[in-house]
Each structure stands twice: as structure tokens, then as C-alpha cells.
Chains A and B, each alone.
Chain A
Amino acid sequence: MSGEHDPSRSSWYVGDAFYRDLAAAFADWTREERRIDDPALRDRCAQLLAREARLLDGARYEDWLALFAPECLYWIPGTPGGDPRREVAVAFDDRRQLEGRIFRLRTGYAWSQVPASRTARIVSNVEAFRADAAGTLMVRSTFLVSEFRAGAARVLSGWCCHRIAEQLDGWRILVKQVNLIDCDQPLRNPSLVL
């Protein structure tokens, strides 16, 4: 069904199979026997994450979006391991909503980002794991985001899982799951793109 539709304009792909596959993909995926030992492949993963962090720190959101597959997900669970079919998330953006999120920031009227956050991200502890689907990897990393906005600096931290797939022109992000260590606590100004 989904191939007929432009995911920037409609959301046919976020259906039962999508939620089922998401739950399966994000269950028990850091098993040791699936860990990638090839240093070259691990380095490519780390480079992708470093590039992503650089684009976000530069507010180059359109370039950042181009790292994602057309049918993608940007997901910040609201509880550790939270099931998006059972509960709300801090963020659960499909392609259209992620483009809407960027569009909103670009209007100049998103007051939570006027003035915009300045950030410096450190992404570390990168490990890659083979996924069940062919040509697909799960990449775990730990992050620290230093943010300065409206006269004050703060640090956000947590870990990410990027589900990535190799496509003709390189790796594309299928799912970016951002696990804030304080995801289930009151978050001050969660308008920053993580």
C-alpha cells in the first residue's frame, strides 16, 4: 500500500505492521552475538552519527532530514521502553510530522525556539548490532547535548538507537529513537530537536 503514497503528504505506512515491526525491532536488540566487530563498518556508523550531530548543531534541519529514509520515525519515548500503542511519547514523528516540526521552527513564530538554541553534541560509545532485516543495523550511542538558550546553559543526556539501512546512495535512518534519561520527568522546553 505504502509505495503508492508520498509519506511527506500522507501517513499510510504508520499502521499495524509498522507498530508490530517497531516493537519487534526494538526488543532485545543488543545481544552480544549480533555485535558488529568489523572496525570499518563500526567507523561508518560513527561517522554517520557525527555527521548527524554536526548538521543538528548547525540547525541544518533540511540536510538532517535528508539522512532519513522516506518512511521514517523520530521517536522519544515518554517512559523507559514505553510502548507507543499503549501510551503517548515525548515525540513520535512520522515523515510528515517531522517535516512539519522543521517547518514550524522555520516559521520564525515558534517562540520556544526564538531565540534558537545553540547546541554542541557529543556522541560516543557507538556500537552496532545486526538486525533481523537484511542490510539493516541497530546503532547504539550515548549523547550529551550542551544547550545554550535565553541566557542559560543546560545539558541533556541519554542514549540513542538508530535503526539504519543501506540504500543505493548510502546509509539511511529508518528510526531514530532518543532515550532521554529523564524522559518520564517534567522537561523544560522540549522544543529542541534531539
Chain B
Amino acid sequence: MSAYDLNDLVQEDRVHRLLYTDAALFADEMTRIFGGTWAYLAHESQIPRNDDFVTVRLGLRPLIVLRDGRGTLRALYNRCTHRGTTLCRRDRGSAKAFQCPYHGWTFLNSGVLSGVPWPDGYACDFKDAKFNLAQVPRVESYRGFVFGTLNPAAPPLREHLGPVARPIDEWLDRHPGGRVELREANRIKYRGNWKLAYDNSADGYHVVFSHRSLLEMENRLEEDPGKGMSFYRSKPDEAPMYVQYLGHGHHFKDKRPNVPKAPGALWAIEGAHPGMEYFEAKLRRELGPRADAALDLAASEPVNINVFPNLLILGNHVQVIEPVAVDETDLTWYATAVVDADGALGPAVDDVNALRLRTQEAFPNFGEVDDAANFEEIQRGLRAPEDEWVYMHRGLGIPGRVTTGADGVITAPATDEVFMREYLKEWKRLMEARPELAVRREP
């Protein structure tokens, strides 16, 4: 357990380097943040049928998130109650039961121990609940996004999400049936603290610098550079986009106001992608006047919806931050596909998705790699013990720049760092709260 007074480490305008470098603080985060508040676990489209499962982590805990035989969502600890072996080593699949590879103990996907080899060698009663798998006691879904917490005192999920539910709703509702399907992912590892990714996710200040090569690449064939994130190029604080802090650590950067509200407007600012001319022409032939709206579904939605501590919905991606160690993090950029939920797209849904998968490969390849390189260089810079502070005071103290609404939502220009200052207050609150965490077992 860390020995610091967090009031010293988290100040109004800056935080201490130890937040990113200290192994004891990291160990506390893995229970007080990951476990102490709601964390994103999985998406329901990854486990569409009963008995489907996917293996994930909650902090460092290996979990099997599944839909049991009755369709109930569960997050079982992937840990045999006998000696601690992980039961399931696959990324995903379908199973009614899990047999431990080490001594053959078998558990139903409800978590109940169903069999122990040669039980007459034991004097105990295996009906005792302590032999059933531990599971996350509170697992709830918000419109397909499955979250879990070990904190009995945490508010209900919907209340915890609060105002961030609105951009999530809007993000979903632009799709037929108000839903998407997760597909495979672009996966990036960096040697840096997990919060560097969360600091970055609503940061409008870094874009033209960290992503300069991407902006130049996207516009290299254009006479008039307006593709991609070009709206950051000059005076981004005067553009209609904005950043918001939404409470409970969640933040939101909304770039939609930069783009005209007209069918085809999102598609018009997409950079070059494989097959775009072919499939655009095909969709226009097939769908006529409805093609613009379909093409917008293949285009990136200009939002960053950041649900503390580990879910980043951006563009068309569902990105998950997975801490590995104080200085190592995995970022999984799940691609999403459109579902022809109302039959309106028909076979054209495959063409939309053929484009949409390609558009989603661009940022991980040509943007995120540079952010990740900068995260690694931050981690290297923060090794210097005497130079202690990380500043996040952009916008602080400028009258009228940051406004707070009646609902508590804080709004600021797109390059403001108020979202960092605010989420780190929530981080500090959770780290100091030291909630009593509990697992549940089937009786």
C-alpha cells in the first residue's frame, strides 16, 4: 500500500510524477479504481448466445465474462478455487462448463463446482459455497456495454454513468437499430502508465503536433486541406468543438459541431481509404439518395467519449485501456460494424462495413502509433526524480473560459485541460475512499 498523502500529489494545476511511476500507487489503483468503481468489461455482441464467453481483465484480475445457460451476464474469476490455476486460456468461445487443466476440477458456467476427481479422498463438503468460483458481484450492461464493480457501495451503473449516457446514446443511435457489433481489433502495447492514454483521450491540444504526419498524409492529395482532423489546424479554441467533464471521471470531446449537419458531410472529410471510390460508387448505384447517409456510417464519428477508467468510444472504435504494470499498458481498439437491424440497408450493409473496417484501420496505423511513442517518451522523461511535476493547467484561471452547467457538466474549448484536472480529482477521491471490495459466489 502506498504511503503518500494524495493532497500533496494531486494539486489544482499539476500532479506529481509518482502518479505515473510509482508501483505501490499502481497496486492500489488495481483495487481502488479497477474494482472500486465501475469498469468496462466487454460488449454483449462478443457473447451473443447463451454459453458464449470472452476472457478479459478487471485491472490485473483474469475474468471470464459470459452469458450463462439462462442468458445471465456473469464475470467469473478465471481462477480455480483449488490451487489458483486459470481455468480458461482461450480468448473466446462457447462452453457450458470449464474444467481445470491442472487437477480436473470442473465448474458450470454459473460458477458452481460440479465435479472433483476422486472425491472420496476429501473429508469436506463440496457443496460449500467457498468452492464455487468467485465472481464480480455487480455486472450490468448499458445498451450492450458490460461493466462490473466489486464495490457494494457504488451507485447503480446508470447513475454512475450520468451525463455520459447521452453521448453514448447518440453514438449508438446513429446506427440502424441503435446498435453495433464488435469485430476484431487493432492492439497496441506501450511501455507507459495507463493514465497516459486516459489523459490523451479528450486532449485537443496535442492533435496538430503529435499527429502532424497523419494530417499531412491525409491531405497530401488534396488541393484544399480539409480532410480528417484538419479543423484543429488553426485556432482550434475558436472552432465550435468543445470538451466536457461529465462527472465520475468521465469526459467527452465533441467535434461534431465542426462538421455540417447534412448527409454525406462526414464522408466528405474522410481521408483516403482502400476501396473508397469503388464502394462509394456502388452504394450510390444501389441506394440512390440514401447513399450519403450510408456512407456516413462508414465515416468516423467525430467524438471521444471517455468512460472512466478504461472505455474510450472514439470515431467508430470501442477502445479499452488494459493496465499491465505501472509502466506497461495494452490498448485494444475494437472495430465496430454496422448491423442491418431494420432491413433498410439489405445487402449494402456488407459494402458499408467493407469501407468501415478500412476507415478504422487508419488511425491505429498512422495516428495512435505516434501517441504511443509519445507516451513512452513521457514515461522516460518522468524517470527524473527531482523534476517532479506534470502540468495540466491550460485554461485554469482564465475568466469565462470554463463554464459549469446546472447539471454540473463542465464545458471548455477543445484544447483545455480541465477534463484532466477534474478526472484526477475523482481518481484521488476513489484512491482515498478505500472501499470494502467483495466477490460473490453462488450459494
* Residues of A participating in the B interface, judged by any CB pair closer than 8 Å: 1, 5, 9-16, 18-19, 78-79, 82, 84-94, 96-97, 100-101, 103-105, 107-112, 114, 150, 184-191
Contact = CB atoms under 8 A, between A and B. Distances in A.
B275 A186 contact: no
Interface stretch (B153-161, B242-250, B352-360): B352-360
B216 A109 contact: yes
A187 B210 contact: no
Contact of A110 (B91, B273, B370): B370
B220 interface: yes
Nearest to B358: A92
Nearest to B356: A88
Contact of B183 (A18, A88, A109, A185): A88
B190 interface: yes
| Chain B contact surface mostly | helix
Contact of B273 (A11, A18, A109, A190): A11
A182 to B, nearest CB: 9
B315 to A, nearest CB: 12
B310 interface: no
A190 B183 CA distance: 20
Contact of A87 (B189, B335, B376): B335
B332 interface: yes
B272 A186 contact: no
29 contacts: A1-B278, A12-B277, A13-B278, A14-B275, A14-B278, A15-B275, A15-B282, A78-B184, A79-B184, A85-B354, A87-B335, A88-B361, A92-B274, A96-B272, A101-B365, A109-B213, A110-B213, A110-B369, A111-B213, A111-B373, A112-B369, A184-B187, A186-B188, A186-B331, A187-B189, A188-B188, A189-B190, A190-B188, A191-B365
* Most interface-central of B278, B360, B372 (chain A CB within 10 A): B278
* Most interface-central of B221, B274, B357 (chain A CB within 10 A): B274
Given A101-B365, A107-B213, A186 B357 contact: no
A104 B191 contact: no
B191 A11 contact: no
B265 interface: no
A104 B219 CA distance: 11
B214 interface: yes
Interface in B174-188: 183-188
Which are the 9 A-B pairs with shortest beta-carbon distances?
A: A14-B275, A87-B184, A186-B189, A15-B278, A112-B369, A94-B274, A109-B212, A110-B213, A88-B335
A186 B361 contact: no
A97 B212 CA distance: 17
Contacts of B273: 11, 97
A94 to B, nearest CB: 4
A187 B188 contact: yes
A43 to B, nearest CB: 33
B330 interface: yes
Nearest to A14: B275
Nearest to B214: A104
Contact of A12 (B185, B213, B278): B278
Contacts of B358: 92
Contact of A90 (B186, B370, B374): B186
B186 A11 contact: no
* Most interface-central of A82, A90, A111, A188 (chain B CB within 10 A): A111
A5 B281 CA distance: 14
Nearest to A149: B373
Contact of B373 (A16, A91, A107, A112): A112
A16 B274 CA distance: 12
B275 A103 contact: no
A149 to B, nearest CB: 10
A112 B376 CA distance: 10
Contacts of A18: 275
A79 to B, nearest CB: 6
Contacts of A107: 212-213, 216-217
B217 A188 contact: no
B366 interface: yes
A100 to B, nearest CB: 5
A91 B366 CA distance: 10
A12 B279 CA distance: 8
B331 A111 contact: no
A79 B187 CA distance: 11
A78 B185 contact: yes
B269 interface: no
A121 B369 CA distance: 22
Contacts of B357: 84-85, 87-88
B335 A85 contact: no
Contacts of A9: 221
Given A87-B335, A103-B220, A187-B189, A94 B275 contact: yes
Nearest to A84: B357
Contacts of B217: 100-101, 103-104, 107
Given A10-B277, A11-B272, A191 B369 contact: yes
A12 B277 CA distance: 5
B187 A186 contact: yes
B280 to A, nearest CB: 10
Contacts of B212: 107, 109
B350 interface: yes
Interface in B356-386: 357-358, 360-361, 365-366, 369-370, 372-374, 376-377
B272 A97 contact: yes
B168 interface: no
B108 interface: no
A123 B214 CA distance: 31
B276 interface: yes
